[in-house]
Amino acid sequence: MSIKIALAGNPNCGKTTLFNALTGSNQFVGNWPGVTVEKKEGKLKGHSDAIIVDLPGIYSLSPYTLEEVVARNFLITERPDAILNIIDGTNLERNLYLTTQLVELGIPVIAAVNMMDVVAKNGDKVNTANLAKELGCKVVEISALKGTGVTEAADKAVAVANARRRMIPQHSFEGCVEHTLAHIEEAVLHEMPEEQQRWYAIKIFERDEKVMAQLNIPADIQKHIEQDIKACEDEMDDDAESIITNERYVYIGTIIKDCCVKKNKGGMTTS
Ligand code: BGO
The CB-side HSE value for 200 (13 A sphere, CA atoms) comes to 26
> Which residues line ligand 1 at a C-beta cut-off of 6 Å?
9, 11-17, 57, 114-115, 117-118, 143-145
CA distance 67 to 87: 17
Task: List C-alpha distances in Å: 13 to 27, 54, 202, 210.
Answer: 20, 13, 26, 27
- Which of 112, 128, 100 is closest to 13 using CA atoms? 112
> Is 113 in contact with 131 (CB distance < 8 Å)?
yes
Query: How far does the centroid of ligand 1 lie from the alpha carbon of residue 24, in Å?
Result: 17
In this prediction, residue 166 carries a pLDDT of 76
DSSP H helix total and E strand total for the chain: 11, 10
Read off the pLDDT of residues 145-163 as tens digits, 9 standing for 90 and up.
Answer: 999 999 999 999 999 999 9
Our mutation pick for probing the ligand 1 site, out of 7, 12, 16, 17, counting the most ligand atoms within 8 A of Cβ, is 17
pLDDT in tens, 6-43: 999 999 999 999 999 999 988 999 999 889 899 999 99
CA distance 46 to 146: 18
What pLDDT does residue 93 have?
96
pLDDT of residue 40: 96
Q: What percent of the chain has pLDDT over 90?
A: 91
ipTM: 0.97
**Distant-in-sequence, close-in-space partners of 59: CB < 8 Å, separation ≥ 6:** 10, 11, 68, 94, 97, 98
Residues 269, 61: Cα–Cα separation, whole Å: 28
Strands 3-9, 50-54: pairing is parallel
Within 10 angstroms of residue 191's Cβ, the number of other Cβ atoms is: 6
| 25 C-beta neighbours (distance < 10 Å), count | 8
Gap from CA of 190 to ligand 1 centroid (Å): 43
Return the ligand 1 atom nearest residue 144 CA: 9
* pLDDT, mean of residues 184-210: 96
User: What distances in angstroms separate CA 210 from CA 64, 123, 165, 180, 269, one per listed residue?
Assistant: 10, 44, 28, 20, 38
Is pLDDT above 80 for 254?
Answer: yes
